[in-house]
Amino acid sequence: MSTVEVVMIRHAQSTWNAEGRFTGWADPPLTDLGRNEAEKAGQILKQHGYHFDRVFSSRLQRAKTTADIILGILNQSDLTIEPDWRLNERHYGALQGMSKQDLRDKAGDEQVHRWRRGYHDTAPALAEDDPRHPKFDPQYADLPREILPAVESLADTRTRAVEFWQEKVVPELAKGNKILLSAHGNTLRGLIMALAGMTEEEVEHFEIPTGTPIVYRFKQDGTPISWQYLE
């Protein structure tokens, strides 16, 4: 059976990454450094001869812009970026927008670590009438309100990322199509956890850098083979 590759990338640096803030479903743009990171990722992929058949991203602009910059470097700007909310970052609830360092000072390093990395842990949820709740965001008006989260654990994020993978990516692997997937740290942590068979303890210590392509090799039936960073 022949093999096929999927390139996954955590979006390049956003303004809130640079400021050390919990971001989640908030939608800040890339920094200038982030745009440079995305350009570098595109150049690396170009040097290795990559050309994509399908491109998926989250609905958040930091992921879509990262994919758009890469496609420009590869001379594939005419390829449609297909956004899917299930690739969105983990929803950090009421912590979104807050400084991680301020929270460390108030709640302690261990609590902030659990909020950020714990598999089943969740931050405090948004109130249902909080204007930051995604049910008030016009870009999610096409989705049933009951599926829009007020907060998520990594386990929740993994569930929707794997659902997306099975529905959208596995059929493309069967066709031998090369996929670019531009998403977020927690989305990719949950997805790779499922694909690679990581334990909860392993995934809690698993960190993915911004703007660095991950090449994951599969059999055409979707069976994972191996993955590595492309640097």
Catalytic-residue membership of 11: yes
- Among 37, 89, 152, 172, the active-site one is 89
Catalytic residue status for 89: yes
Other Cβ atoms closer than 10 A to 107: 12
Q: How far apart are CA 193 and CA 170, in angstroms?
A: 16
Strand partners, 56: 82, 181
Q: Which residues contact 153 (CB under 8 A, 6 or more apart)?
A: 90, 118, 119, 120, 121, 122
Give the number of residues written for the chain: 231
Burial zone of 129 (CB within 10 Å; 0-12 exposed, 13-18 middle, 19+ buried)? exposed
Smallest CA-to-CA distance from 11 within 180, 183, 181, 207 is with 183
CB 27 within 8 A of CB 89: no
Smallest CA-to-CA distance from 177 within 51, 39, 81 is with: 51
d(CA 71, CA 84): 18
Between CA 115 and CA 124 the distance in angstroms is 9
Angle at 186 between CA 109 and CA 2, to 5 degrees: 145
* Residues with catalytic roles: 11, 89
